[in-house]
Every structure is written in structure tokens, then in C-alpha cells.
Amino acid sequence: MDRNYSKIDRLIASFDEALRISTGEAPVPFRDNPAGDIAPAELDDDQRRHVAGLMRINHSGEICAQALYAGQAATAHDDATREAMQLAADEEIDHLSWCEDRLKELNSQPSLLNPFWYAGSFAIGAIAGIAGDEWSLGFVKETENQVEAHLADHLERLPESDGRSQAILDQMKVDEAKHADMAREAGARELPPPIRRAMAFTADIMKSLAYRI
């Protein structure tokens, strides 16, 4: 028999998910790592640290994406919106796993601040969901647009020889654009400029800290 979960049930389940995702190993991805059999590049110590910093930012960004979608799904008004959020979250799991794999290859680790990033993003997602599905989808669209832009920036900043990182970020960029299109087609509202600027400012703080910590 199927069970109808209340918002409280979903919030409790989301809290459990938060602990597992922000402090433990990434879940098993649904798709193969796009880096595949690409040969690892010969990186000097400075290049390795730089690439690790970029991939740590992207890993933290995926932690935030999981939290944002979880918060929105927990408070979404419409089942179709909730299912769309879950589908996008599943694809973000792939990104999370691929970034974690690359960090391990670089002998580095995820940001120590990931639990903080998760908590803040979950709160934003939950508030957006309470405000209404159109606003919630608006946050998805704007978030994915900003992530797509910073992935393009990271692709330019990677060493040309680092094909493994490039393959991962290329696929992530494709997926983020698809998620933004999904949100727009589902009826996303355009967020006011002050909110978009605040999101970009917050993301800049996260990127600056995650690169180092």
C-alpha cells in the first residue's frame, strides 16, 4: 500500500538525507563518469591544488543543489513539481559523485563547510517552496543559469591538459542548462533583480571559501 507523506514526514526524511550527503560519501551515481578512460594529466603541485580548488567548489555547489531541491520538494504544493525536483536532484547526484571522484584522484577532499552550505540551501529551498511552485521553479532556473555560467568560467581556468576534469564539467554544464529549461517550461517566475544579485553574491562567498577550505 502506498503511503501519503505529509510535509513533516518529508522534512524529517530530508534531514536524514542532509546528514548523509553533507558529511558522508556521495551516493552511487546513476550514470557513468564522463571522464571514462581519459588519461590523467601530468599536473605540477600548483596546478593540482588549483584544479582541486575548482572541483571542491563544484562539489560544494552540488551539495547546495541537493539541499535546494530537497527543501523545495519537501514544501512543494504540486506533485508534478515535486517529481520534477526529484528528477533534477537525481542527476545532480551524478555530479556530486563525479566531483568527489575527481577530488580523490587529486588527493584532495570536499569542503569542510559542506554541512553549512547544505543547511543554508535547504532553508532557501524550503522557503521558496512555501512561497509557491512558480517562485520555487524561479529559484531553480536562476540557480542553474548561474551555475552554468560559473562552469563555463571553470572550464576556461582548467589546465588545457586536464581532460578528465573538463569532461566532467562539460557534462555538468549540459545538465544544468537542461534543468533551467525544465524550470522555465514548468512555469518558473522571473526573480526580481535584487534577489538574483543576492544569490550571485552568496555564491561568490561560497566559491571563495570552498576553493580553500
Q: What is the CATH number of the domain that holds 62?
A: 1.20.1260.10
- The answer to whether residue 109 is domain-embedded is yes
Stated pTM of the model: 0.84
- What pLDDT, in 10s, does the model give residues 154-207? 999 999 999 999 999 999 999 889 888 888 888 888 988 998 898 899 889 999
Angle between helices 163-185 and 45-75 (to 10 degrees): 20
Asked if the structure places residue 117 within a domain, the reply is: yes
Total length of the chain: 213
Q: Which uninterrupted H or E stretch holds 74?
A: helix 45-75
Q: Write out pLDDT tens, residues 53-90.
A: 999 999 998 888 888 877 777 777 777 767 777 777 77
As to burial, measured by CB atoms within 10 angstroms (0-12 exposed, 13-18 middle, 19+ buried), residue 118 is buried
Is the confidence at residue 153, as pLDDT, over 90? Answer: yes
The residue with greater pLDDT, 3 or 121, is 121
Segment 1-41, tens digit of pLDDT:
445 656 566 656 655 665 566 555 667 888 899 999 999 98
Q: Are 143 and 92 in contact (CB under 8 A)?
A: no
Cα separation, 90 vs 211, in Å, equals 25
132 or 36: which leads in pLDDT: 36
Do the domain assignments include residue 35?
Answer: no
**Residue 54 falls inside a structural domain:** yes
Residue 102 lies inside a defined structural domain of this protein: yes
pLDDT of residue 183: 84
Q: What is the pLDDT of residue 1?
A: 46
Question: Which residue is associated with the grid cell 504544493?
Answer: 77
**DSSP structural state of residue 191:** P
Q: What is the pLDDT of residue 89?
A: 72
Is residue 27 included in any domain, yes or no? no
Considering the domain boundaries, does residue 22 fall inside one? Answer: no
Half-sphere exposure of 22 (CA within 13 A, CB side): 24
Residue 120 lies in domain: 7-13+43-212
Instruction: Say if 21 falls within a structural domain.
Output: no
- Total number of domains constituting the chain: 1
